[in-house]
Structure 1
C-alpha cells in the first residue's frame, strides 16, 4: 500500500490554485485546499468527486490568526507534508506610476498576501515539509518580480511583492537545501485569472494549461536528474529569468 502524500495549495478557490488542486488529486495526492471565500462551489464539486482526498481549509494567508488556526488543523491530521504550493496572491493597483497619488495601504495589503502570506505558510509548515519524502516548497512568483527584465512604470505593489517573494525563496532555499529540502520559484505564464475582480480572458494560458506545466516542473524537480544549479526564477516552460 502506497503511503499517503499530502500537499497544500493556497488560493485554491478558483483559477490556477483550483487547477493545481485538481491536478494534484489526479496525480494521487491528498490535498489541503486553502479557501479564502466563504463559499466555493468548485471546491465542493471536487469534494464530491474525490471524497476525503481533498479537504477545504478556510485560510486568509494575510491574517496571522487565520493561518495559525489552519495550520493547527493540518498538523493534527498530517505530520508530514510533501508539497506546499504558495499560490495565493492579489494584484493591487496596476496603473498608478510614481507621478500619481499612490495608495500605500493597498500596497501593504498586497505585501501581506503575496510576500508575508507565503512566508507565514512556509515558516509554519517547514518542519512538516522536512519530515516528508519530497520536501518541496513551490512559490508561484511572476516575471513581474524580475528586476533584470522589468520594463513597467507601474504595478508597484505586485512587482515589488513578487520580487520580495523571490528573495524569500532564496533565503528558504539556503536554509533547507542542506537538510534535503527543495524550492521552486515559478512564473506561471500569462494566465486567465480573476485577480482583477473578474475573469481576465486576455491570458495566453487557461488555469488548467498553466497548472499542467507547473506540475510537470514539480515532477522534474523531484527527480534525481534535476540539475545541481543555483536557485532561479523559471517560467512555466522551464526558461530561466533574471532575478
Structure 2
C-alpha cells in the first residue's frame, strides 16, 4: 500500500486530490487547517483507516513538526508528498495606493516556506518510500518573464520563490533517488482567495484528475530522478516555462 501526504486537504483542490488518491488505493494523511470545514469527516466515514486527517498549518513550524510526528507514528515511509496548501489575496495592492506588506509576508510564509517545512520534516519518511516524489502545486503566476499582472505582488513573488525552492530541493533529493514535480493546476473553481470562484475555467475535480495523470507519467519516467531540474507541467501535462 502506498502512502501520500496532502496539505490543504479541507476543500478545493486538496480535497479532490485526497478523494482521488484514496480511490487509487493510497492511504492519505490529509492536512486540515479549517476546523469548521468537515468535508474530510464525511470522506473518512467511507475510507476508514486509509484516511488520516491531521491538524496542519504549514505556516507554523510547530504544527508541521507535530503533524510529521503523527505520520511517523503510523508509517515508516511515504511515497508522495503533495504540497497543495496556499493562500492568495490583496490582488489590487499597488505602488500608487496601499500595499499590505504583512499579507505579503504571510503569503511567503505559507506558499514558499510551507512546502519547504513539509519536505524538511518528512524527508526521512519520503526517502524510505518507494516513489520518493514531492509534488509542489505552483502557478503560472510564478513565471518571471510571462507575467501579465499589474498587482498580485505577494502571490506571484511567493510562487516564484516556490519554483526556485523546488529546483534546489530536487537537486538535493535526486542523489538519493528522490524527485520533485512542479504543477500549475489551472484556473480552478476553488477557494484560493477565501471564497468560491465560480468564474474559473475548470473544477477542482478536473484539475486533480489531470494532476494525478501527470504524476503517474512522471513516476513512470525512469530518468525523472536524474533530471538537472524538476519538471514543470500544467494539469494537462503540457510543459511550462520556468522563466
After TM superposition, the score normalised by the length of structure 2 is 0.95
Aligned match of 1:10 = 7
Aligned match of 1:72 = 69
Instruction: Describe the SS at the equivalent of 1:72.
Output: helix
Aligned match of 1:121 = 118
Higher mean Cα deviation, 62-71 or 160-169? Answer: 62-71
Deviation at residue 19 of structure 1 after TM alignment: 0.1
Deviation at residue 14 of structure 1 after TM alignment: 0.2
Aligned match of 1:51 = 48
C-alpha separation in 1, matches of 2:122 and 2:158: 21
Instruction: Describe the SS at the equivalent of 1:93.
Output: coil
Aligned match of 1:175 = 172
Aligned match of 1:27 = 24
C-alpha separation in 2, matches of 1:226 and 1:54: 31
C-alpha separation in 1, matches of 2:198 and 2:163: 27
Aligned match of 1:37 = 34
Alignment of 1:60-209 (within 5 A): 60-209=57-206
Aligned match of 1:217 = 214
Q: Which ranges of structure 2 fall in alignment gaps of 5 or more residues? A: none
Structure 1 residue ranges (4+ consecutive) displaced by more than 6 angstroms after TM superposition? none
Q: How many residues align?
A: 240
Deviation at residue 225 of structure 1 after TM alignment: 5.3
C-alpha separation in 2, matches of 1:97 and 1:242: 26
Query: Is the contact between residue 187 and residue 201 of structure 2 (CA under 8 Å) also seen in structure 1?
Result: yes
C-alpha separation in 1, matches of 2:197 and 2:223: 34
C-alpha separation in 2, matches of 1:101 and 1:122: 34
C-alpha separation in 1, matches of 2:200 and 2:211: 16
Q: 1:172 to 1:85 in 2, by over 3 A?
A: same
- CA RMSD between the two structures: 1.3
Aligned match of 2:235 = 236
C-alpha separation in 2, matches of 1:232 and 1:145: 14
1:149-190 deviation per Cα after TM superposition (whole angstroms, max 9, x unaligned): 111120000000000000000000001112110110000000
C-alpha separation in 1, matches of 2:50 and 2:218: 24
Instruction: Describe the SS at the equivalent of 2:144.
Output: coil
